[in-house]
Structure 1
Amino acid sequence: MNENDRSITGFTMLAHGIFHTYELSIPIFIVVWLDAFDVSAFVLGIVVSIGYGLIGVGAIPSGVLSDAYGSRRLIVASVIGMAGGFFLLALAPNVVVLAAAVIVWGAAASVYHPAGLSLISRGANQRGTVFAYHGVGGNVGTAFGPLLTALLLLVLDWRAVVALLTVPAIGVVALGSLIEFDEDAAVSTTDGGTAPTTLESVVSDSKLLFSTGFLLTFLTIMIYGIYYRGLLTFLPDMIGDLPQFGAYAALGQAVEPAQYIYTGILTIGIVGQYAGGRVTDHVRTEYAFFGTLLALGILAFVFIPSSGWGLAPFLLVCVGLGFFLYATAPIYQVAIAEYAAADVHGLSYGYAYLGMFGFGAGGAALAGSLLTYASETALLATLGVLAFVGAGIVLSLLTVVSDSG
Structure 2
Amino acid sequence: MSLNSNDRSIAGFTMAGHALVHWFETAIPIFLVVWLAEFDVTVTLIGLIVALGYAPFGIGALPGGILADRYGPKRLILLCLLGMSLAFTVLAAASVLESIYAIAVGLLLWGIAASIYHPAGLALISTGVEERGTVFAWHGIAGNFGIALGPFVAATLLIFLEWPLVAAMLAVPGFLAVVYGLSADFDSTAAVADDVDAGPDEALSLGDLVTNSRALFASAFAIVFVIVTFEGLYYRGMLTYLPEIMHGLPAVEGLEILPALEQYDIDPGFYIYVGLLVVGMAGQYAGGKLTDRIPAARGLAVFFVILAVLALAFIPVVNLGLGALIVLSGVLGFFLFAIQPFYQNAVAVYTPADSRGLSYGYTYLGEFGFGAASIAIAGFVLEEFALSTFFVVIASFAFVGAGLSVALALGLDRLLDRKSTDAGVDPEA
Range into which the TM-score falls when normalised by the shorter chain: 0.7 to 0.9
2:190 partner amino acid: A
2:309 and 2:395 in contact (8 A); partners too = yes
Tell me which of 372, 375, 378 is aligned to 1:361: 372
Deviations 1:279-336 (A, max 9, x none): 3344443332122222222322333541321111111110121011101111112222
Distance 1:71 1:393 in 2: 30
Q: Would the alpha carbon gap of residues 213 and 68 (structure 1) be closer, same or farther in structure 2, given more than 3 Å must change?
A: closer
1:242 lines up with 2:249 in the alignment: yes
1:219 lines up with 2:226 in the alignment: yes
Report the secondary structure of 2:302's partner residue.
Answer: helix
The equivalent of 1:181 in structure 2 is 185
The equivalent of 2:282 in structure 1 is 271
1:245 and 1:257 in contact (8 A); partners too = yes
The equivalent of 2:68 in structure 1 is 66
- Identical positions, percent: 41
Cα distance, 1:61 vs structure 2: 1.9
Any residues of structure 2 matched to 1:139-288 within 5 Å, and which?
Answer: 139-152=144-157, 161-177=166-182, 179-182=183-186, 186=190, 193-194=198-199, 195-211=202-218, 213-246=220-253, 250-251=259-260, 253-254=263-264, 255-288=266-299
Cα distance, 1:161 vs structure 2: 4.6
TM-score, normalised on structure 2?
0.78
1:14 and 1:172 in contact (8 A); partners too = yes
Report the secondary structure of 1:275's partner residue.
Answer: helix
Cα distance, 1:363 vs structure 2: 3.0
1:63 partner amino acid: G
- Report the aligned-residue RMSD: 3.8
Q: Would the alpha carbon gap of residues 400 and 43 (structure 1) be closer, same or farther in structure 2, given more than 3 Å must change?
A: farther
Report the secondary structure of 2:234's partner residue.
Answer: helix
1:122 and 1:183 in contact (8 A); partners too = no
Q: Would the alpha carbon gap of residues 390 and 51 (structure 1) be closer, same or farther in structure 2, given more than 3 Å must change?
A: farther
The equivalent of 1:117 in structure 2 is 122
Gaps of at least 5 residues in structure 1 are none
Cα distance, 1:2 vs structure 2: 6.0
Q: Would the alpha carbon gap of residues 171 and 345 (structure 1) be closer, same or farther in structure 2, given more than 3 Å must change?
A: closer
Cα distance, 1:88 vs structure 2: 4.9
1:239 and 1:245 in contact (8 A); partners too = yes
1:107 lines up with 2:107 in the alignment: no
Report the secondary structure of 1:166's partner residue.
Answer: helix
Q: Would the alpha carbon gap of residues 188 and 373 (structure 1) be closer, same or farther in structure 2, given more than 3 Å must change?
A: closer
The equivalent of 2:323 in structure 1 is 312
TM-score, normalised on structure 1?
0.82
Cα distance, 1:266 vs structure 2: 0.7
Q: Would the alpha carbon gap of residues 224 and 144 (structure 1) be closer, same or farther in structure 2, given more than 3 Å must change?
A: same
Moved more, 101-110 or 158-167: 158-167
Deviations 1:179-217 (A, max 9, x none): 142555738986775343222122212222213633222
Tell me which of 293, 297, 322 is aligned to 2:304: 293
Deviations 1:316-374 (A, max 9, x none): 11012101110111111222233334554443222111111221222334445555666
Distance 1:328 1:312 in 2: 25
* Number of aligned residues: 402
Cα distance, 1:251 vs structure 2: 1.8
Moved more, 191-200 or 100-109: 191-200
Deviations 1:102-137 (A, max 9, x none): 432221101112333344456667666655543343
Cα distance, 1:6 vs structure 2: 4.3
Moved more, 264-273 or 345-354: 345-354
Q: Would the alpha carbon gap of residues 165 and 388 (structure 1) be closer, same or farther in structure 2, given more than 3 Å must change?
A: same
Report the secondary structure of 2:204's partner residue.
Answer: coil
Moved more, 62-71 or 96-105: 96-105
Distance 1:385 1:170 in 2: 42
Cα distance, 1:146 vs structure 2: 3.7
Q: Would the alpha carbon gap of residues 28 and 126 (structure 1) be closer, same or farther in structure 2, given more than 3 Å must change?
A: same
Distance 1:285 1:381 in 2: 26
1:111 partner amino acid: I
2:73 and 2:121 in contact (8 A); partners too = yes
Cα distance, 1:169 vs structure 2: 1.4
Distance 2:379 2:28 in 1: 14
Cα distance, 1:81 vs structure 2: 2.3
Tell me which of 385, 390, 401 is aligned to 2:396: 385
2:231 and 2:398 in contact (8 A); partners too = yes
Any residues of structure 2 matched to 1:69-108 within 5 Å, and which?
Answer: 69-88=71-90, 91=94, 100-108=105-113
Q: Would the alpha carbon gap of residues 197 and 101 (structure 1) be closer, same or farther in structure 2, given more than 3 Å must change?
A: same
2:311 and 2:391 in contact (8 A); partners too = yes
Distance 1:100 1:314 in 2: 40
Moved more, 284-293 or 241-250: 241-250
Q: Would the alpha carbon gap of residues 157 and 251 (structure 1) be closer, same or farther in structure 2, given more than 3 Å must change?
A: farther
1:52 and 1:358 in contact (8 A); partners too = no
1:215 partner amino acid: A
